[in-house]
Amino acid sequence: MNWYPIALPPQAGRRVLVTGANAGLGFFTAARLAGAGAHVVLSGRSPERLDAAVAAIRDVRPAASLETLVIDQSSLDSVAAGAERLLAGPRLDGVVANAGMVHTPMTRRESLDGHELVLATNVLGHFAMLGRLLPHLAPGARIVSLGSLSTRLSTFRVDDLRLERGYDPWRAYAQSKIATQVFGFELDRRLRAAALPVASVVAHPGYSISGRTPYVPGVNEPSRGGRFADALQAAFAQGKHRGAEVVLYALTAHDVEGGQYWGPRHLTRGEPVLQNPTRVSTDPDIAARFWTFAEEVTGRAFTVDG
């Protein structure tokens, strides 16, 4: 059954950062927020692709309030420079930690900082960024981390987060997403303990694929063959514009609370509903170990206090 996206609450006067906003879920999240009146900061690695995303949004919403910020989430120096620029501007009312690698390398690669590349891109960059930005979030702000269905299909080697004992592309992606969820839920526990008026929520977009997504010049341009192949999965897949609705709901809906996990009603597709994450994702002991690891490898303490 088809469903129509729920109208967003008015976002005028709100400033939101969406990482990885030049394509996919990030683009449609940014576009919908801008359409609801938010000032949206779109970040990504490529200035050309960011410009294409802005042009696509303004083609539909000429008055959209947008700015771009070039950040490579896998580089701690790039993340630090981007955070400094954000700290120099108005406070943020929301952060969508969306940037990440879906198509992971076939062999183990390392970031410029010497960390396993998928983990560095999908998790460590956001950990380092949010550690800097937390004091700059306005009261009532919400952080949404992007989880994944893959977290239900893999174990979590908390003692081998760098995948030095064995690498494969699937494990690299799934383990990075488990770590993302672990971080998102632990962040909310620490925010609550410190009585800070900021919430951390985790959302997963189900099975959202390009071939089920509207054509957007410079942003989403799947080939005819890609559209045909993805159409064969229509019974259990949805477009990325629909997957973004779960993220948007987690960010803006009035009935969302910190520490919650949102996803599509039918697991892989459908309207946003509250769901139960895996036990590993919410285990405080595992979270404490991950937090210590992340502080060590990023070289910066992430302190959450009032």
Query: 149: helix, coil or strand?
Result: helix
Contact 16, 92 (CB under 8 A): yes
279/281 Cα distance (integer angstroms): 5
- What's the chain's Rg over C-alpha atoms? 18
14 half-sphere exposure, CB direction, 13 A CA radius = 24
**167 catalytic, yes or no?**
no
Half-sphere exposure of 299 (CA within 13 A, CB side): 8
Q: Which residues of 106-140 are buried (b: 16+ CB within 10 A; e: fewer)?
A: eebeebebebbbbbbbbbbbbbbbbbbbbebbeee
Residue 40 main-chain phi, psi, to 5 deg: -110, 130
Taking the C-alpha atoms of residue 199 and residue 185, their distance in angstroms, rounded to an integer, is: 10
Asked whether the beta carbons of 134 and 155 are under 8 A apart, the reply is no
CB atoms within 10 A of CB 31: 27
Separation between Cα atoms, residue 48 and residue 242, nearest integer Å: 25
Amino acid at 283: D
Q: Which of 167, 173, 207, 249 is catalytic?
A: 173
Residues annotated as catalytic are: 173
